[in-house]
Amino acid sequence: MFLPFMKQALIIYRTQTVSIKTTETVKPAGIVPLEAVQPPGLSEVLAFEKNQTFQTAGQIVIPKVEISLPLFSGVTNEQLLIGAGLLFPERKAENQNIVAIGHHLGRNNLLFGKLLNIEVGDTIYLETQNQFYQYKVSQTKIIQQTELQALENRNKAEITLITCDKPTHTEQRFVVKGKLVKQPEKTIKQKILQQKDQIRVKNNRKNRNYCIIIVILFLFSLAMGIRMIMKVSR
């Protein structure tokens, strides 16, 4: 019963000590099928090593739903435990479709957990290669994992965010489409950078408190279970 919650707590605990550095070198990534992006198993979470350093290609900030995540060039299991991955990092934000995917693990303050709360008209900020871009959400929809049209580059300045429609194994994906509005002015950029840090601090604090609560409830349930077993055995 506690397995899903313990897995969330383990992800939070193991990813708290990672270091993230920004890199300006962007390498083309291999094609990742949408069906390959599934919630991580317990073995993958346990295999995650603490105190790692990750090279990030940028960041994504969505103030309305309090999402602030590093963006990585390509997709690996470890990267998706701490941020989102760019499927085509070589694409240019000025005139192409930027596609990012991330996990939805059932906890709002973790990764893309709040993405399903986004609405048409909300603002998405993207930072990549030392440039800031502002998008306005134009569409949200659920698709089958085999529908790859969402990944296509139509030579339009847009962003596509993809996550699972639920925190278990699923064949559907929740897709957010946004159109490029402009490159934010310097004052807006500074405000977003402040919001980014505030969102991360707030989410980290909530996640740490969640870990403590889960551990306490687990130990309490374990103690009660042992007590009942001992009582029955007598």
Task: Give the CATH number, domain containing residue 139.
Answer: 2.40.260.10
For 71, half-sphere exposure in the C-beta direction (CA atoms, 13 angstrom radius) is 24
Number of domains the chain contains: 1
Catalytic residue status for 164: yes
- The β-bridge partners of 179 are 136, 158
Catalytic-role residue among 103, 104, 169, 211: 103
Torsion angle (degrees, nearest 10) of CA 158, 165, 149, 59: 30
Profile the chain (234 residues) by mean pLDDT over runs of 10 residues: 78 79 61 63 78 85 92 84 88 92 84 92 89 93 87 90 86 93 77 84 87 87 87 78
Look up 103 and say whether it is catalytic.
yes
Q: Provide CB contacts within 8 A for 4, sequence distance 6+.
A: 106, 167
CA distance linking residue 79 with residue 19, whole number of Å: 12
Catalytic residue among 104, 164, 169, 211: 164
Residue with tokens 């701490």: 82
pTM: 0.82
Per-residue model confidence (pLDDT) at position 145: 84
Which range marks the domain in which residue 90 is found? 3-233
What is the rounded distance in angstroms from the CA atom of residue 102 to the CA atom of residue 81?
A: 8
